[in-house]
Structure 1
Amino acid sequence: MAFIEPITIKDAIERIDRKNYLLPAIQREFVWAPGQIGKLFDSLMRDYPISSFLFWEVESENVDKYQFYEFIRDYHERDNYHNPKANLSGSAGIIAILDGQQRLTSLYIGLKGSYAQNVLKKRRNNDAVFSKRYLYLNLFYGSVEDSDVEYEFSFLTQKEAGVRDDKNFWFKVGDILDIVEPVDVNDYLLNNDAAQFGKDNFRLANKALFKLHDVIHKSKSINFFLERGEDLDKVLNIFIRVNSGGTKLNSSDLLLSIATAQWKDKDAREEITQFVDEVNGICDGFNINKDFVLKCCLVLADFRDIAFKVKNFNKANMLHIERQWEDITKAIRSTVILLANFGYSGATLKSNNALIPIAYYLQKIGSPKDFDIASKYEADRKAIFKWLVIVLLKGTFGGQPDNVLRPIREVIRGTDQGFPFEEIVSKLKGTSKSLAFDEDEIARLLRYGYNETPTYSVLAFLYPTLDFRNKFHQDHIFPKKMFTKKRLLEAGIKDDEIDFFMAKFNSLANLQLLEGIPNQEKSDKDFDTWLANKYPLEADRRDYRAKHYIPDIDLSFANFREFIEQREKLLTNAFKNMLA
């Protein structure tokens, strides 16, 4: 490895543009936020070092041995965040970036591209929230005391950047590439009437723009080492040492890169990335990631060792996974669809790893297409649902998931009588991963509250006969709107009771699952009034109370304390019976 003479940012950008610089499959995807990009440019303007880079020279005869990707230019948080695969036919050799991808991509986006982000965090299917923004430098910005930046860089729309006054004069950073000679800086400022905002502002603009020109065109700030070896193991080892400080490798991105280099007929990175996007789009959306898919590959391929270690991603294992890829993805997809039909989404699923044994079981029985709805699988679905809720509430897959995945897989592998719920319980009995609940753990279930991640699991467990393919809402039995100090006082609640009311209105004891339309009908109505109007017959009210664990007491708002205390007893008894 040799240290090579530094180059300018302009030189680096041109080489990225010409596809002389590419990214090997071992690189993670771009993850920097706009603020990080702005701070990188601010550091360059202040002559701060931005660390050295590590490049890998790949000769033309060896280019087709590996998979490479282009730099992303116009980043879009929803539609364009994957690096495009590089077409290297006829390539005369390339330079692959082993260390510095985030910085170089940030420079490339800032000078040549754009950044579209859902700034308002609104619905992702709304195109309007993803405005294309370019990096601008405010030439009138003067450093502010206690600020961690000296130059103001910001991603703006063209309309936002068009606002000019004595505090704002935005210059599109990419335009500096067209200002070749320093004398052109003054021409730009004069042609754009910067002088009309006063002498001090003109001096600030002059200083900032000259500095930006120097940083991009003259300063050789891209310092790099060049590795010329062609040994993949050596290159991977260098990459691991640089990116993880020599610590044990456990990054799915690195392991995925090895799979990409070793799969024969498919591109592992593209396959897994596209599959992750697909399953995350099912129903209300999930938060599946590459780590999960790779772990599924190790477990579902029935490898003895399922740990995230480089040795488990050897060529033989990777080719075996490639051959099984369709079966593995079919099982995972079926599992996620099943979870969606149980009413789960990324917001309510506490552990993705809890899905792996289900996927293993579905793969074992051939991942039937209609498993989620066919009546002949009803008993299986009930057993899986009960098991899933229990492991989610117990936190079974916290800590070291491999220690519980191995014994559960062993049980599933050895059974032919449906999903082996009882056998798994027996296998884990007496271990730190026991699925039994003691009284303290049952009491803890009552402490969950409205919209907490585990709350859906607790509530769903209480309604084993519901068809969760319908949308159910977490409904406040006594309407949430009543629980303000002002309204409580107006309702005649005594001061010494108010704290109890406020502490309990969001608790599990005041929650039930209702379908969307009944929940909307109930809305903010007093519970006793709504119940009497909805179910005029006593027999129907009795059925409703039994289904929703409603105590047969006075259900007026003033009796909220007794309601909570009595319902907690009913829920506790229900949990004890169901978890016995």
Structure 2
Amino acid sequence: MSFQTPLTINEVITDIHAKKYLLPSIQREFVWSQEQIKKLFDSLMRDYPINAFLFWKVPKEKASDFKFYEFLRDYHKKDNRHNPKANISGSDDVMAVLDGQQRLTSLYISLKGTYADKLPYKRWDNPQAYPKKKLYLNLLSRPEDEDFEYDFEFLTDTEAKANDDNHHWFPVGKILDLKEQDEVNDYLLESGLLSTPDKEKGKFANRALFKLHKVIHVNPIISYYLEQSAELDKVLNIFIRVNSGGTTLSYSDLLLSFATAQWENRDAREEINDFVDEINEIGHGFNINKDAVLKACLVLCDMEDITFKVDNFNRTNMLKIESEWDNITKAIRDALTLISSFGFSRENITSNNLIIPVAYYLKTIGLPNNFEISTSRIEDRRNIKQWFVSSLLKRVFSFSPDGVLKPVRDIIKQYGSNGFPLEKIIERFKGTNRTLQFTEDDINNLLYSKYGQGDTLVILSILYPWADLRHNFHVDHIFPKSEFTAKRLAAKGVPQSKINDFIENCNYIGNLQLLENIPNIEKKAMDFDKWLSKKVPAGELADYKKKHYIPDVDLSFGNFDVFLEEREKLLLEKLKKELQ
């Protein structure tokens, strides 16, 4: 390994664009946030060191022995997170990046591409939640954040047009077109930045843009070492060592690197990434990551040690996982399809480890097709759902998940041929801090769940076993939430002494029901007693009340406190029956 003559950022970006730099399959994918990228550019502008890079030169006659990927050009958190596979046929020697991928990808995206992160508070499946943004530099003022000297921001095209006396947003990528200093000067003149009334701002703009030009075109900032060995074991060892500091690889990144290097007939990186994308689209969507898939591989392949450590991903185990891959993926896919039919999704599953025992059981009984709808599997599904719901509510996977996964796997292996062994699992953890048994207090506490909390839909799925939650059921306020304001309650004749209690209690589960999409839309903010008399035929009223635990009390707004107390009694009765 030798130190090489440093390069300018422009030289490296040009070569990345020409696909002269590639990424080896052992590299993880791009994970840097916008904040990290802004900090990188601020550091460059302040002449801070950004550490050396490590490149790997692979002779063209050896290049076909390895898999390589292109740099990500336009990052999209949902639709474009995976690096495209590189075509190296007929190419010269391959220059691969062993250390520095995050920094180089950040530079490339900022200068040539776009970054589409998810906006907060918008649903993950809403296309408008991911606006494409480019990196801009404000040439008129410094940022308010004292940790930064320069005001870099990722902005949409519309946001970037919002210039004023304190903001002139310069698209950072445009600096690639301003190769000479006179071109930089021309831009400053044509933009009127040198003739701004505030001379200090003009001087700042002049210094900032010339500094950016110097950072990209002049200073040889990319210092790097070059490794030329074609021995994979040596390269893997170097890769692990250089990634043991800073923002280290996660276990899944490292283990995926090992799998990619050691699988013989499949591309592990592509297989696992594609599979993760696929299963996250099941039902209303899940949030399964590579960690969960790799963990499931250890459990479903009956590895004795299922902890995440390099020793467990030796060549023998990797090849076993590869040979079992089709069964593993079907087991996980079928498990998620089943769990989705129970009404669960990314919104209310607190641990992906809950999925693994279900997948292991399905694999143990031979991966039957259509398990989630088969009439012969009704009892099995009931037991799986009870275990799943109980484990979720009792938070049994909240610490040391291996302490649950291994015993449950052993019980399923021993007794699973006779159906899902719910009673054996309950007995195994009885009296421990992972017990699945519910005390009176446990069940009483469930009534304190509120609208919008993850556990609420879990509890409602117990109360509404007849609801097929694969379809559109909404969590509905029985007494409409919009009416719980002091002004509106007073107008309905609610005594002043009760108003605060009414408002405080309106979101508890005692005032919630599952309602199908269309009836819920029709109901809107209509008073419950009026909606009931208008929409539910008299001959169906008794059945409706039974299915929704509606007590036989006055259902007017002024009687909300009595309704809530009586309905909670009905809910407790059902929960005790199901959970005890």
Question: Cα 1:509–1:262, aligned 2, differ >3 Å: closer, same or farther?
Answer: same
Question: Cα 1:218–1:518, aligned 2, differ >3 Å: closer, same or farther?
Answer: same
Give the drift of 1:146: 5.4
- Listed as ranges, the matches of 1:203-218 within 5 Å are 203-218=203-218
Gap regions ≥5 residues in structure 1: none
Alignment correspondent of 1:155: 154
Q: Deviation string for 1:250-287 (max 9, x for gaps)?
A: 62111011101111111111111111111111232111
Segment of structure 1 superposing worse, 501-510 or 229-238: 229-238
Alignment correspondent of 1:445: 446
- Listed as ranges, the matches of 1:36-75 within 5 Å are 36-75=36-75
Question: Cα 1:71–1:491, aligned 2, differ >3 Å: closer, same or farther?
Answer: same
Tell whether 2:576 aligns with 1:576: yes
Alignment correspondent of 2:329: 329
C-alpha separation in 1, matches of 2:298 and 2:458: 28
Give the drift of 1:395: 1.1
Tell whether 2:361 aligns with 1:361: yes
SS of residue in 1 equivalent to 2:476: strand
Question: Cα 1:72–1:413, aligned 2, differ >3 Å: closer, same or farther?
Answer: same
Alignment correspondent of 1:464: 465
Q: Deviation string for 1:464-522 (max 9, x for gaps)?
A: 23333332211112211121122223333334323322221111111111222222333
C-alpha separation in 2, matches of 1:225 and 1:3: 4
Kept in 2: contact 1:142–1:150 (CA 8 A): no
SS of residue in 2 equivalent to 1:475: strand
Kept in 1: contact 2:134–2:154 (CA 8 A): yes
Question: Cα 1:120–1:249, aligned 2, differ >3 Å: closer, same or farther?
Answer: closer
Aligned length: 578
- Listed as ranges, the matches of 1:104-123 within 5 Å are 104-119=104-119
Segment of structure 1 superposing worse, 65-74 or 260-269: 65-74
Q: Deviation string for 1:127-160 (max 9, x for gaps)?
A: 6665544333333x22256543333333345565
SS of residue in 2 equivalent to 1:448: coil
Alignment correspondent of 2:8: 8
SS of residue in 2 equivalent to 1:51: coil
Alignment correspondent of 1:481: 482
Identical aligned residues as a percent: 55
- Listed as ranges, the matches of 1:266-285 within 5 Å are 266-285=266-285
- Listed as ranges, the matches of 1:46-445 within 5 Å are 46-119=46-119, 132-139=132-139, 141-143=140-142, 147-158=146-157, 161=160, 166-192=165-191, 194-195=193-194, 197-198=196-197, 200=199, 201-245=201-245, 251-414=251-414, 415-445=416-446
Give the drift of 1:50: 2.2
Q: Deviation string for 1:309-362 (max 9, x for gaps)?
A: 111111121111112111111111111122222222211222221111111111
Kept in 1: contact 2:194–2:206 (CA 8 A): no
C-alpha separation in 2, matches of 1:249 and 1:42: 24
> Which residue identity lines up with residue 480 of structure 1 in the other structure?
K
Q: Deviation string for 1:343-402 (max 9, x for gaps)?
A: 222112222211111111112233233222221222222221122111111112221111
SS of residue in 2 equivalent to 1:449: coil
C-alpha separation in 2, matches of 1:421 and 1:188: 72
C-alpha separation in 1, matches of 2:164 and 2:145: 24
SS of residue in 1 equivalent to 2:64: helix
Over aligned residue pairs, what C-alpha RMSD do you find?
A: 2.8
C-alpha separation in 1, matches of 2:496 and 2:165: 56
Q: Deviation string for 1:518-571 (max 9, x for gaps)?
A: 22333322223333344454x743333332223322332222222222222322
Segment of structure 1 superposing worse, 167-176 or 23-32: 167-176
> Which residue identity lines up with residue 276 of structure 1 in the other structure?
V
SS of residue in 1 equivalent to 2:479: coil
Gap regions ≥5 residues in structure 2: none
Taking structure 2 as the reference length, what is the TM-score of the superposition?
Answer: 0.91
SS of residue in 1 equivalent to 2:399: coil
C-alpha separation in 1, matches of 2:101 and 2:323: 32
> Which residue identity lines up with residue 484 of structure 1 in the other structure?
T
> Which residue identity lines up with residue 554 of structure 1 in the other structure?
D
Segment of structure 1 superposing worse, 107-116 or 10-19: 10-19
SS of residue in 2 equivalent to 1:331: helix
SS of residue in 2 equivalent to 1:291: helix
Segment of structure 1 superposing worse, 259-268 or 200-209: 200-209
Question: Cα 1:421–1:124, aligned 2, differ >3 Å: closer, same or farther?
Answer: closer
Segment of structure 1 superposing worse, 554-563 or 113-122: 113-122
Kept in 2: contact 1:24–1:96 (CA 8 A): yes
